[in-house]
A and B are shown apart, each in its own frame.
Chain A
Amino acid sequence: MNYFYLTIFWIITIFAQAQDSNFGLPDRPLGQVSDHKKLLPTSKRDAWEEELTRLLENDKINIKLVVLPSLYGTPPDFVAKKIGEAWGDKDLQGVIVYVPRQSNTPAFWMGGTKTTDFNQDPRRKNDMLIRMQKRVSGELTETDKVQAAITELGDTLRIFKSVWQQYTIMKDAAQKDAYNRYVERRKKSRIFEIIAYALGGLCLILIPSLIILWRQRTKVCYFPATSARRRFGAPYAGGNSVAITLITRQS
């Protein structure tokens, strides 16, 4: 029984590898349009090349249009993803795979850190792709479909970019705000620390001074009782007096 399942597993694995290996990645083009087999009319190829180059130069959005004679049964989405990962721009990129006279193309793929990092929910990205797919499938001719795919993908990536920029600005502002708040908090705590240290120092000086002062105020001095040296028959004082004239008549 175990051998049966193991055999099934190997068959599936080999099939999947065969399907993957059926399609070989085309060479990376110098421009934005890859059409090694010259399947597109020259005017269209040049026009799309120009449009995609303008998009790259002006908006820094890298969209590759890959025209292939066949996908050998490989799903176009998968091919687009493979190409995007192989050639791609790590920040923001899109790939349109177009096989003339194949109904499920043009197929899209979009990726890069700006789409993955910003949009954490893959379902939203998938919704965007489905919407684009619907828009493209609404066109009557294949040329219009490719044109629509370029426009839709360009617009979507532009939205991504602008949202990303906005997000970056907000993130920077939030960071700056957080930094400012941190600085303010630190400043306040510094002031508090300085005041606390000053008060502590003052207490260190003041408390011993007050204790000394209090001890001085409450100090009591006693003299030992002595036997009186009575003389001249005087009961209280023997006459050991000091008599001084502070100002003489002459002065």
Chain B
Amino acid sequence: MSDPSIVATKTFSAKRFARGAMFCPSCTLRLEESVNVCPSCGFTGAQTMQMYQGTPPPMMEMMDLAGVWTDDEKNEIQKKINKFRSLFPQVHWSILSVVLPPQTDIRTFAFWVFNASPLSEGQTAETRQWTIFLLVEPDNHRIAVLPGYGVEPFLSDDQWQKAVWGMKKSWHEKSRGEAVLKFLNSARIGLIEASKRANYIISTSSSFIS
């Protein structure tokens, strides 16, 4: 599909692949450039440390803190993640189910977990940046998806939204394991297409190598 030697040795500008704009996780303001403080609401990453006390646990592939999935469902999801890993060696997954109070902003919570969570054994900053974080909050039926910096440019918010909406039917039918599998399927299709597109961009233009 792509030449691993090229993609491994060169670093490209994220802007060339960016499918969508950047947003503030707090007020969802569209950002034209990378900023440390949101010009609208003044959000900074450090604020989340005060919003959510303590330290989140290290990010594992499956963290079913809310007990959403059965053992069989967890096995199926794990199998799917393993297949995912052989198809996309760079991409990692972290799926967390947790019970949150209804007033908790799930976006900032996901942001906090992703960035504040210590690296687990064998994990590096780079692998964390290539992680896609799926947060499931069962009591209020809320789902959040947060890609790391590595994956972020390749899929647009619309694509992620579409993948999450794909979970709705199974979720409604209480098949929550199947809902996650459907999400992973949609993500797989989106990532394959994104990989093709990115490699097409590389093959047709070499002027944007940073």
Instruction: Point out residues on A near B: beta carbons under 8 Å.
Output: 219-248
Contacts and interface: CB of A to CB of B under 8 A. Distances in A.
Interface residues of B, number: 81
Contacts of B164: 242, 244, 246
A241 B145 contact: yes
Interface stretch (B50-58, B65-73, B74-82, B87-95): B87-95
A219 B195 CA distance: 12
B13 A226 contact: yes
B167 A246 contact: yes
9 contacts: A221-B191, A225-B7, A226-B11, A226-B13, A231-B22, A235-B125, A240-B20, A240-B25, A241-B111
B8 A225 contact: yes
Contacts of B8: 222, 225
Contacts of A245: 140-143
Interface string B135-177: 0000011111111111111100100110011011001100000
B134 to A, nearest CB: 10
B110 A224 contact: no
Contacts, number: 185
Contacts of A224: 6-7, 10-12, 17, 198-199, 202
Given A237-B129, A247-B172, 12 more contacts: A220-B1, A225-B11, A229-B15, A230-B149, A231-B22, A233-B36, A237-B133, A240-B147, A242-B145, A242-B161, A244-B142, A244-B161
Given A221-B1, A236-B114, A239-B146, A228 B157 contact: no
B99 interface: no
A236 B107 contact: no
Contact of A246 (B45, B146, B172): B172
Contacts of A219: 1, 87
Contacts of B12: 224-227
A225 B195 CA distance: 12
Contacts of A244: 142-144, 161, 164-165
Given A229-B34, A230-B34, A246-B172, A238 B22 contact: yes
Query: Ordered nearest first, which 8 A-B pairs have the shortest CB separation?
Result: A239-B25, A228-B149, A221-B195, A226-B14, A241-B146, A232-B45, A247-B141, A233-B45
A217 to B, nearest CB: 8
A94 B185 CA distance: 99
Nearest to A231: B34
Interface string B98-128: 0000000011101100110000000001001
B151 A234 contact: no
Nearest to B9: A225
Interface in B175-209: 191-192, 194-196, 198-199, 202
B6 to A, nearest CB: 7
Contacts of B108: 239
B17 A226 contact: yes
